[in-house]
Amino acid sequence: MKNRKRTYIYILAIFLAAINLRMGITSISPLLETIRKDLNMSNFTVSFLTSIPVLCMGVFALLTGKVYKRWGTEKAIVVCLLLIGAATFMRSFTSSVLPLLITALLIGIGIGLIGPLLSGFIKERFPTKIGLMIGINTFGMVAGVALSSGITVPLQHEFKGSWNMALAFWGIFAIVALFFWFSIMKEDKGTRTHDRQNNRLPLKNKKARLFTLFFGLQAGIFYFVTTWFAPAIQSTGASSQQAGALITLFTLVQMVFTFVIPTLADYYKNRAFWFLGSLCFVLVGLLFMVNPLTTPWLSSILLGIGLGGLFPLALMLPLNAVKTSADAGAWSAMMQSGGYIIGGIIPILAGVIRDFFHGHQQGFIIMALLCVILMIFILRPSFLKQDD
C-alpha cells in the first residue's frame, strides 16, 4: 500500500511539474499586443518575451548534467520549479521592459533544465512504464498550454485589466508542484552516487546525434504547423474565428493523443509501428493542406493525432536507448538542446520560403518531405535498438 501511494505521488509530481513547462511562454501570447502598447515596446522587442524561453530550452538543457551532478534529480527539479515559480510571480511587479524580459530569461532557464531531469526521473522510477509516464508528462505540458492560452485573458478581466496579475497567477501551479517534489526529496535522499558519475553529453555517439536531428525535425514540423496553419487557412478566405477554431481543435486532439499513443506503445511494444503510424497521420494532414481534397477540419484532426503522438514518442527515444537514468538525462539534454534549436529555426525558414513564393503550399510540401525523412530514420534497423 505504501509503495502504491508513493507511485501515485510520483505520477502527480511528474504531471504537475510538466504543467509548468509551457505556461510561462503561452500565457504571454494572448496578451502580447496589450503588453506592447502598455509598455510602449516595438514588435521586435516584444517578440523576445516568447522567443527567449524557447532559446533557453535549447541552450540551458546542455547544463543539465552539471546540475544533476551537483544536486541529484529530485533536488534539481525542486530548484527549477522554485526558479520558474519565483520568476512567474515577479511578473506581478513588472512595470517596464527589462524586468519582464528578465522573468522570461529565468523561466526559460528553469524550463530548459527541468525537461531532461524529468526524463531521467522517469527512466529511474518507471523503467517498465516509460511510454505511460512520458504520456502523462506530455499531457501535462499540453494541458498547461491549453489552460494558460485560453484563460489568461479572462483572468486579466477578473484582475480589473491587470495583465501583470494575470501572468503572475500561473505561478500557483509551481507552488502546488513543489509540495509533491519536496515530499519526494525528503523521502529519497538524493540519487545513487554511481549514477551521478556518468552524465557527460554523448556528443560522439552517432545514435544520439541522430536522435537530436530526429527530435529537431519533428519539433520543426510542430512549430511550423502552430505558426503557419492558421494563416494558410485564412489565405483561402476563412475568417480569423474559423482559423482559431481549427487551432483549438488541433490542440484538443493533440492533448488526447499525447497520452493515448505513448501509453499504447507501452502495451504493444512495436515502437516502429507507432512512429510510422503517427508520421502517416502528419503526412496525410500536410498533403491535404497542399491539395485541399477535403475540409481543413480533417487536416486539423489528422495533424493533431500525428503530432500528438510523435512528440512523446520522440521524448522516449533516449529513455529506451540507454540503461541508466544518468545516461537518459544526458541523452535527453543533448537531444532537446539541439532539437529545440533546429525546431525553432524551421518555421523561420518556412517564412522566408513563403515570402519568396508568395504562398503557403511550398512550406507544407517541405514539411511533408521532412516526414518522409523521419520515416527513413525509423526504418533503420538500429535506430530503435538499445545502445550497448
d(CA 200, CA 334): 10
Residues 70, 154, single domain; the answer is yes
CA 88 – CA 103 distance, rounded (Å) = 7
* Spatial separation of the C-alpha atoms in residues 137 and 132, rounded to whole Å: 9
> Are residues 174 and 278 both part of a single domain?
no
In a domain, 388, yes or no: no
327 CB-near residues (< 8 Å, 6+ apart): 198, 202, 318
Higher pLDDT, 34 or 88: 88
Considering the domain architecture, whether residues 189 and 326 belong to the same structural domain is answered as: no
| Contact (Cβ atoms closer than 8 angstroms) between residue 8 and residue 168 | no
**Which amino acid, one-letter code, is at 87?**
A
Distance, CA of 45 to CA of 43 (rounded, Å) = 6
Residues 47 and 184 in one domain: yes
pLDDT digits (tens, 9 = 90+) for 243-267: 778 888 888 899 899 999 999 988 8
In single-letter form, the type of residue at position 316 comes to M
Q: Which of 149, 170, 197 is the last residue of a domain?
A: 197
Same domain, 179 and 226: no
Structure pTM? 0.84
pLDDT of residue 321: 87
For 81-106, write each residue's pLDDT tens digit. 999 999 999 999 888 889 999 999 99
pLDDT at 240 over 70: no
Which of 169, 197, 225 is where one domain is finished? 197
266-299 per-position pLDDT tens digit = 888 788 999 999 999 999 999 998 887 778 889 9
pLDDT at position 94: 85
156/259 same-domain check: no
Residue 52, domain member (yes or no): yes
Total tally of structural domains belonging to the chain:
2
Query: Phi/psi class of residue 102: alpha, beta or left (left: φ > 0; alpha: ψ in -120 to 50)?
Result: alpha
Residues 313/193, Cβ–Cβ less than 8 Å = no
Closest CA to 279 of 307, 260, 254: 307
Q: What is the CATH number of the domain that holds 374?
A: 1.20.1250.20
C-alpha to C-alpha distance for 125 and 52, rounded to whole angstroms: 32
Distance CA 343, CA 186 (A): 37
Q: Could you tell me if 275 and 231 lie in one domain? A: yes
Which of the listed residues 197, 216, 234 is the one where a domain comes to its end? 197
Distances from the Cα of 357 to the Cαs of 88, 156, 304, 361, in angstroms?
41, 40, 27, 9
Range of the domain at 112: 2-197
Share of the chain above pLDDT 90, in %: 42
Which region among 36-50, 89-103, 184-198, 312-326 has the lowest average model confidence (pLDDT)? 184-198
Helix axes 97-125, 325-357, angle to 10 degrees: 130
User: 227: buried, middle or exposed (CB in 10 Å: 19+, 13-18, 0-12)?
Assistant: middle
